[in-house]
Chain A
Amino acid sequence: QKEVEQNSGPLSVPEGAIASLNCTYSDRGSQSFFWYRQYSGKSPELIMSIYSNGDKEDGRFTAQLNKASQYVSLLIRDSQPSDSATYLCAVNMGGSYIPTFGRGTSLIVHP
Chain B
Amino acid sequence: SAVISQKPSRDICQRGTSLTIQCQVDSQVTMMFWYRQQPGQSLTLIATANQGSEATYESGFVIDKFPISRPNLTFSTLTVSNMSPEDSSIYLCSVEGRSSYNEQFFGPGTRLTVL
Q: Is the A/B pair a real complex?
A: yes
Q: What residues of A have a CB within 8 angstroms of the CB of B49 in the complex?
A: none
**Candidates B43, B45, B48, B103; contact of A32 at CB < 8 Å:** B103
Which B56-104 residues have a C-beta within 8 angstroms of A? 90, 92, 96-97, 99, 101-104
Q: Is A43 an interface residue (CB 8 A)?
A: yes
> Do residues B104 and A51 form an inter-chain contact, with CB atoms below 8 A?
no
> Do residues A43 and B108 form an inter-chain contact, with CB atoms below 8 A?
yes
Question: Tally of A-B residue pairs with Cβ under 8 A?
Answer: 49
Which A26-58 residues have a C-beta within 8 angstroms of B? 31-32, 34, 41-46, 49, 51
- 9-residue interface stretch from A9-17, A60-68, A72-80, A97-105: A97-105
Q: Is A88 an interface residue (CB 8 A)?
A: yes
Q: Tell me the bound Cα distance from A59 to B79 in angstroms.
A: 40
> Do residues B33 and A44 form an inter-chain contact, with CB atoms below 8 A?
no
> Do residues B42 and A104 form an inter-chain contact, with CB atoms below 8 A?
yes
Q: Is A24 an interface residue (CB 8 A)?
A: no
Identity of the chain B residue whose Cβ is nearest the Cβ of A104 in the assembled complex: B42
> Do residues B108 and A49 form an inter-chain contact, with CB atoms below 8 A?
no
Identity of the chain A residue whose Cβ is nearest the Cβ of B108 in the assembled complex: A43
Q: Tell me the bound Cα distance from A49 to B104 in angstroms.
A: 11
**Candidates A42, A43, A101; contact of B42 at CB < 8 Å:** A101
**Candidates A31, A41, A42, A46; contact of B103 at CB < 8 Å:** A46
**Candidates B90, B102, B107, B109; contact of A99 at CB < 8 Å:** B102
Identity of the chain B residue whose Cβ is nearest the Cβ of A98 in the assembled complex: B45
> Do residues B101 and A49 form an inter-chain contact, with CB atoms below 8 A?
yes
Inter-chain pairs besides A49-B101, A92-B102, A98-B48, 16 sampled, C-beta below 8 Å: A32-B101, A32-B103, A41-B111, A42-B109, A43-B90, A43-B107, A44-B43, A46-B104, A49-B103, A51-B101, A92-B101, A97-B96, A98-B33, A99-B103, A99-B104, A104-B42
- Residues of chain A at the chain B interface (Cβ within 8 Å): 31-32, 34, 41-46, 49, 51, 88, 90, 92, 97-99, 101-104
9 contacts between A and B (CB under 8 A): A34-B104, A42-B108, A42-B109, A46-B1, A46-B97, A46-B105, A49-B101, A92-B101, A99-B102
